[in-house]
A and B are shown apart, each in its own frame.
Chain A
Amino acid sequence: MWEFLTEFPSLGRRDLADFKNTIDSAFRNFSREYGEALEAFFSPLLKFLVWFEKLLLATPWPLIIAIVGLLAWLGARSWKVTAGTVVAFLVIGFLGMWEDTMATLAIISVATLLCILIGIPIGILMARSDRTQAAITPVLDVMQTIPSFVYLIPVVMLLGIGKVPGLLAVLIYAIPPIVRLTNLGIRLVDKDVLEAADAFGASPRQKLFGVQVPLALPNIFAGVNQTIMMALSMVVIASMIGVKGLGVPVLRAISNQYLALGLMNGLAIVALAIIFDRISQSYGKRLQAHRGQGHG
């Protein structure tokens, strides 16, 4: 009796082992069965990723800096941000991290693009029905809180080591903010304005693209910003499963205690993060320029 209280009545060691084995072998069978199909499914993505990375590397560095500077100017419309961006890229190149930075830039860009393409429609679906929202929210919670290594295991089992599993890992971690903020943004659209659209006979489609999405855009953009930040924070972990880029030297620095190498590459990631953040934030602010100019 006393024993029952001190020892937790757990599954026996053998049962537990069997239980785990069953799951493992089931998943292994699944991966043997469908692994190749999945790889084939993702191969266009891989090709695109490789093509984009090669494109960035093959482009002369002054051109890249010019393009990045131009994007910074178009996004932020601020000389400070533009100059800061150009200087940061020059320093990164000067310190020998150009190639790694381009590789990271490639995967972050592709990951962000995919997050936007997948995340915004999901966010819109969530905003349209409370039931969908109730179903998807816990999934997002899990995606954001589960330790990344845990979902790396099945991803690697299925797809092996390489760019695509790395990209998937980044996607899983980085997609929740854009889904959440798209959902939130659409739900926060002024009910009076929606009623007006209804009163004029707008169809659901006209309401979505004419009213809801445009008015949710500042929030959606905050989501894009968050997604980029989270994607960047996954760079090191993604490098553990074979994604090239700034994460690789960081990983090498950890295992060999190279302080300088770790700092340099780490700070390069920080620089990218700050640049992306400033540009996307000020772009997002300009999207709502029509607000807040009221004169009472």
Chain B
Amino acid sequence: MADPKIKIENLYKIFGSNPKKHLPKVQQGMTKDELLEKHNHVLGVDDVSLDIMPRQIQVVMGLSGSGKSTLIRHINRLIEPTGGSLSIDGEDVLAMNEDQLRDLRRHKMSMVFQKFALLPHRTVRENVGYGLEVQGVEEGERDRRSAHWIDRVGLSGYEDKFPGQLSGGMQQRVGLARGLATDADILLMDEAFSALDPLIRFDMQSILLELQEELHKTIVFITHDLDEALRLGDNIAILRDGAMVQKGDAQEIVLNPADDYIRDFIKDINRGRVIQLRAITEPLPQGMTANGAPQLAGNTVLEDALAPLSEAPDQTIMVTDSAGQVTGSVSLTRAIQALHT
């Protein structure tokens, strides 16, 4: 397996007048409520460790106040951690001085914000080119590159409009284009689509997935919306009160929720559209062969697998991996169990 692009280890963030003083107590297990009550300090991030793999979308999910936006701001050090370590491509981000940090922010990562945070006095073109301008790219080159990304997010023709003249969805397209224009490896998205209407949000997710298919950036995506998390995330990490509750891919989280908090989170989702056959595949019984039995790809979701399953002989289907090799089988009974727990 590849080395993680971003490695977060035992990260703590305490807000208050003297965070360092209270760090040892928190490390020894003091809870967020205790810390607030006794010392009037707020625990923002509580011992979070997370390896974020290159070229994947890592979703960080949690309700408001769970520390997810605080966590993402540690990655580019908009917020300084109280304790722990953080490295990108093996480089210790916390040891960087101002210049190194600025360089990191200019070239290695960019960010998309919940409230868009566009420059209201600049046109769409100038906004998209902002990261390049900060890097010192000269104007002609800047405009050429912005034009490309404006086109990619579907805003051609709006280059000379001001953000205030655009709808929310269009503004966030500008935000996304601005984030992409610097060609940074890492894209940090802080509830980037949360302020948008559901339909527009779905469109933006599609745009992001489409772009990701060819760009293969390392994306850290913050959201409080489970459907969004399941749709976008190669990996999902769930935070509560600043602490990591569970991390894994969508299948693991839906099939093996770590506790009631997560069970509560996933209770309303359409399991038939999320759970894939590969997650519930059982090894073939001894002596049984796949010959002749119907086959389905491992990434088929249950909803689509039910009809073939009920028609199959013995109501059992062979599951194949991406290379077409049979990895095991799934029975109708097992599929129905997976839908209902």
What is the bound-complex CA distance between A199 and B115, given in angstroms?
14
Given A192-B115, A202-B134, residue A293 in contact with residue B110 (CB < 8 A): no
**Interface flags, A182-201, vs B, CB<8A=1, else 0:** 00000000101101111111
Complex: chain B residue closest to A203, CB-CB: B102
CB-CB under 8 A from B166, the residues of chain A are 295
The yes or no answer to B10 lying at the interface (CB within 8 A) is: no
Contact of A196 among B102, B103, B117, B121 (CB under 8 A): B117
Given A201-B104, A203-B102, residue A196 in contact with residue B113 (CB < 8 A): yes
Looking at A139-147, A159-167, A206-214, the stretch in contact with chain B turns out to be A206-214
Tally of A interface residues using CB under 8 Å = 25
The yes or no answer to B111 lying at the interface (CB within 8 A) is: yes
CB-CB under 8 A from A206, the residues of chain B are 134
**Interface flags, B127-147, vs A, CB<8A=1, else 0:** 000110111000000000000
B178 to chain A, nearest CB (A): 8
The yes or no answer to B120 lying at the interface (CB within 8 A) is: yes
Contact of A294 among B76, B134, B165 (CB under 8 A): B165
What is the bound-complex CA distance between A267 and B133, given in angstroms?
51
- Determine whether the beta carbon of A199 is less than 8 Å from that of B110: yes
CB-CB under 8 A from B167, the residues of chain A are 295-296
Complex: chain A residue closest to B181, CB-CB: A200
- Determine whether the beta carbon of A290 is less than 8 Å from that of B105: no
The yes or no answer to B164 lying at the interface (CB within 8 A) is: yes
- Determine whether the beta carbon of B164 is less than 8 Å from that of A201: no
Complex: chain A residue closest to B104, CB-CB: A201
Contact of A215 among B78, B121, B131, B188 (CB under 8 A): B121
- Determine whether the beta carbon of B105 is less than 8 Å from that of A201: yes
- Determine whether the beta carbon of B134 is less than 8 Å from that of A201: yes
CB-CB under 8 A from A211, the residues of chain B are 119
The yes or no answer to A291 lying at the interface (CB within 8 A) is: yes
Among A8-23, those with CB < 8 Å from B are none
Contact of B130 among A192, A200, A293 (CB under 8 A): A200
**Interface flags, B176-210, vs A, CB<8A=1, else 0:** 00100010000010000000000000000000000
- Determine whether the beta carbon of B165 is less than 8 Å from that of A295: yes
What is the bound-complex CA distance between A196 and B172, given in angstroms?
13
The yes or no answer to A138 lying at the interface (CB within 8 A) is: no
CB-CB under 8 A from A201, the residues of chain B are 101-107, 131, 134-135
Given A192-B115, A211-B119, A215-B121, residue A200 in contact with residue B165 (CB < 8 A): no
A195-B78, A195-B113, A210-B119 known; 4 new pairs, CB 8 Å cut-off, are: A200-B106, A201-B104, A217-B121, A296-B168
- The 10 A-B pairs of least Cβ separation, nearest first, read A201-B105, A201-B106, A196-B117, A199-B111, A290-B162, A192-B117, A201-B102, A200-B131, A294-B164, A202-B134
Binding site for A on B (CB under 8 A): 76, 78, 101-107, 110-111, 113, 115-121, 130-131, 133-135, 162, 164-168, 178, 182, 188
Q: Can you list 25 pairs linking A and B with CB atoms under 8 Å apart? A: A190-B117, A192-B113, A192-B115, A193-B119, A197-B130, A199-B76, A199-B78, A200-B105, A200-B111, A200-B131, A200-B134, A200-B178, A200-B182, A201-B102, A201-B105, A203-B102, A217-B121, A290-B162, A291-B164, A293-B162, A293-B164, A293-B165, A294-B165, A295-B166, A295-B167
